Copies of this chain bind each other. A is one copy, B any other.
């Protein structure tokens, strides 16, 4: 029942589930895992106060006594049907496949790739997509294929089609917009529901839209921040995963806000991506449950 398990999810299963709250769920689910021969190493749950919705994440070791994966999938399906659960089941040895979208600013790209090399972020990264070629050499240094797909008002639809084709070809599970400066179409967003993470360079819901650091400077705030969130059809209004903030003063010009903000962007985005890759995030409505 180790809560502080190694970051590696090797030989483990993770079950995320959402259903109406009901007495006995924790006991049932815990017992269920035990009966399948699993040793629970982490378990966390939450009930939303107003709506009565129950959320659970349970992680267990697949030991020698565990049932086969096929049987486990069948049993989980039955359990979910019984309680009316929406669920996802993951196996730890199947790392998620992540695509990075970038434009011209490379700090988040660099940061994520260094963290991948350090093992902080455990994912396959089969490709980087950009509308510019500025960051090509960064991709080469970290040995990740780099695809340039220019985007103009005229070719937007076609460009997205090409992007989606690449994502499909590489069986991408998670799209990370690491300071990608184009707005995605509703059609693109629908293809990856709660599977696109964006970093917005403000403390949402303050300063939605373009040039948030300039907006913050004009308003004269004393704290700025960055927000990592899932992308939905409404710009900058998707479920918030992580926020990071830092103090500023009248001495800080816009350039200083941009500099200080970069550090917040990197940390907020990296934390959000790590949480997603470890299957620690559940969404409901426009909010997230993050089981840290």
A223–B21 alpha-carbon span in the complex (Å): 27
Q: B221 near A240 (CB under 8 angstroms)?
A: yes
- Distance (whole angstroms) from the CB of A111 to the closest CB of chain B: 8
Judge whether A144 is part of the interface by a CB distance below 8 angstroms: no
**A106 / chain B contacts, CB cutoff of 8 Å:** 114
Q: A229-274: which residues lie under 8 A (CB-CB) from chain B?
A: 239-245, 249-253, 255-256, 259, 262-263, 267
Partner of A205 from the list B28, B219, B244, B267 (CB cut-off 8 Å) is B219
Q: Which residues of A24-66 are within 8 A (CB) of B? A: 24-28, 30-31, 33-34, 39-41, 43-49, 54
Given A30-B30, A30-B31, A203-B206, A287 contacting B250 (CB threshold 8 A): yes
Given contacts A30-B31, A245-B223, A263-B267, contact A47 B239 (CB under 8 A): no
0 or 1 for each of A88-126: is its CB under 8 Å from B? (1 = yes): 000000000000000000110010001000101000000
Q: Tell me, yes or no, whether A141 is within 8 Å of chain B by CB.
A: yes
Whether A221 and B239, one on each chain, are in contact in the complex, defined by CB atoms closer than 8 angstroms, is no
Which residues of B are found within 8 Å of A44, using beta-carbon distances? 44
Q: Tell me the minimal C-beta distance from A57 to chain B in angstroms.
A: 12
The listed residue (B6, B220, B241, B290) touching A288 by CB distance below 8 A is B220
Closest-CB distance, A1 to chain B (whole angstroms): 5
Q: How far is the CA of A102 from the CA of B43 in the complex (A)?
A: 40
How many A residues, CB 8 Å from partner? 72
Nearest-CB distance from A50 to chain B (Å)?
9
Query: Which residues of chain B are near A251, meaning CB under 8 Å?
Result: 3-4, 46, 292
Supposing A114-B107, A287-B250 touch, asked if A220 and B239 sit within 8 A by C-beta, the answer is yes
Whole-angstrom distance between the Cβ of A232 and the nearest chain B Cβ: 12
Q: Is the interface of A mostly helix, strand, loop or mixed?
A: mixed
Interface of A with B (CB < 8 Å)? Answer: 1-4, 6-7, 21-28, 30-31, 33-34, 39-41, 43-49, 54, 106-107, 110, 114, 118, 120, 137, 141, 203-207, 219-223, 225, 239-245, 249-253, 255-256, 259, 262-263, 267, 286-290, 292
Give 29 CB contacts A-B under 8 Å: A1-B26, A1-B54, A4-B46, A4-B49, A4-B251, A4-B253, A24-B39, A26-B30, A26-B43, A27-B30, A27-B31, A27-B34, A41-B47, A43-B45, A49-B253, A110-B110, A203-B223, A204-B221, A205-B219, A219-B240, A220-B287, A221-B243, A222-B241, A222-B243, A223-B243, A223-B244, A223-B245, A250-B289, A263-B267
Nearest 4 CB-CB pairs, A to B? Answer: A220-B287, A27-B30, A2-B47, A27-B34
